[in-house]
Structures are given as C-alpha cells and as structure tokens.
Amino acid sequence: MTLNPFIVSVLAMLLRYGIVAGAGALGLDAVLRDSGVDLTKLSTSAAVVLGTVAYAVYKKFGEKQVLVTALASDQPMSEAKAKAMVANPDVATPSVTTAKTEVPVPKDE
C-alpha cells in the first residue's frame, strides 16, 4: 500500500514540529535548572532545532525547484517528470527565486 504523497508530507511536517517542540522543551529544561545552565542539553537542543530547520529549508527549496521547472515547461507534465528534469544536471532549470508575478524561464548554462 502506498500513501498519498501529500499525506506523507503532512505527517513529515508534524514529525518535524514534534522534534522541534521536544528540543525546545529540552533547551528550556537546561536553562531553568536550579543548579545553573546545563550546556550539554542546551547545545543538543540547539543542534536539533537547527538541523530540523535546515532540513525544512532544503525540502522547500526542492519543492520550489520542481514547481518552477514545471511552470517553465511549454507542455503539461507530471510531478515525477519535473523531478526527473531537476535531478538531471544537463537540463537547465529556472531559479527558485523567481517571483510569484513572473513567468519562470530556464536559466542558460
């Protein structure tokens, strides 16, 4: 059985938020200790939060790259074909910084 990709994306997002909340609680516990700041817990918490945020940015970058590639195409295409085009280093793809009011155009390499 295969789950819908949208459902998988939502579940992954909830998992990431859960990880960040847990790391935040760990960091809060480290700061509010009566015996002083527990630097090990605090640094672990910060590393988990930064890692989770970096992964979320990476995922959003990839999703935007697929979207602008599909929009720049002169014909309709599936998400799988757009992902294959993005993965192919020989295919020019538009910039992910393309504004919402602009039509994406593949960059020349």
**What would the pLDDT profile of 72-96 be if each residue is shown by its tens digit?**
888 899 989 999 999 998 888 888 8
Residue 9 structure tokens: 């994306």
How does residue 105 score in pLDDT terms, banded at 50, 70 and 90?
confident
Q: Domain ranges in the chain?
A: 5-87
pTM score over 0.85 = no
> Is pLDDT of 32 > 90?
no
Residues 91, 65: contact at Cβ < 8 Å? no
CA separation for the pair 14, 8 (Å, rounded): 10
Whole-number Cα distances in Å, 14 to 62, 88, 91: 19, 31, 34
Burial 55-79 (b: 16+ CB within 10 A, else e): eeeeeeeeeebbbbbbebeeeeeee
